[in-house]
Homo-oligomer: A and B are copies of this chain.
């Protein structure tokens, strides 16, 4: 068993126009920089992207938006991106806003074989419009359906050739659930190690959820709000 591919270009082979992708990350933290750059080069079009955010104008998913590769975004927060705003207001881009916790749970559910679940989040708001609601134990809930994707693309700190992953800091965020929900999951890692080097007890994403893995290069890891105390 060897899931290692050479680089991002090889990893994204198979991603076609019109597919649905999940992309890990929160803001610019923990995003799969190498694969995004490869998708930008590949010019794959009409993509539906599921990601908590949509990057900024010149980094992350923003780079794909600049090239109009994205037909639809499913996200919880899409500020900080002027080109995104332009495409949305002009009708070139479709957006489905989903509460952050519901989005995370929809991905986990998709990976875990749970087609739908009830949550109180969004009850009585426009998020619940057109969805089944139900009273359970005296409280109102909304039925939310799970999400899966043709490809999930995640970024981890360390990984091995079995696809086992360890994330770092808050760069974990949506990556583990999206890894579960991809029909094919690509993991790019900062450090690729031999099988057996990662402590089995410390693995965040077991390799069963990952089909392709490679060590990325030249991580920029841009910081959106560099805030320091004296």
Which B residue's beta carbon lies closest to that of A169? Answer: B201
Given known pairs A201-B168, A201-B169, the reply for A115 and B116 (CB within 8 Å) is no
B120 and A118 contacting across the interface, CB-CB below 8 Å: no
Interface residue tally on A, bucketed by range: 20 to 34
Q: How far is the CA of A94 from the CA of B87 in the complex (A)?
A: 61
Which B residue's beta carbon lies closest to that of A204? Answer: B201
Q: Which chain A residues in 124-150 approach chain B with CB under 8 Å?
A: 136-137, 139, 141, 145
B120 and A113 contacting across the interface, CB-CB below 8 Å: yes
A118 CB contacts on chain B under 8 angstroms: 114-117
Given known pairs A168-B201, A201-B169, A202-B202, the reply for A117 and B117 (CB within 8 Å) is yes
Q: How far is the CA of A145 from the CA of B118 in the complex (A)?
A: 10
Integer count of this chain's copies in the complex: 2
Which B residue's beta carbon lies closest to that of A134? Answer: B116
Given known pairs A168-B201, A169-B201, A201-B168, the reply for A117 and B109 (CB within 8 Å) is yes
Contact sample, A vs B, 23 pairs, CB 8 Å cutoff = A105-B112, A105-B114, A109-B117, A113-B119, A113-B120, A114-B117, A114-B118, A114-B119, A115-B118, A115-B137, A115-B139, A116-B117, A116-B118, A116-B136, A116-B141, A117-B117, A117-B118, A136-B145, A166-B201, A168-B201, A169-B201, A201-B202, A202-B202
Which B residue's beta carbon lies closest to that of A119? Answer: B114
A201 CB contacts on chain B under 8 angstroms: 166-169, 202
**From residue A126, how far is it (CB to closest CB) to chain B in Å?**
21
**From residue A128, how far is it (CB to closest CB) to chain B in Å?**
15
A115 CB contacts on chain B under 8 angstroms: 118, 136-137, 139, 141
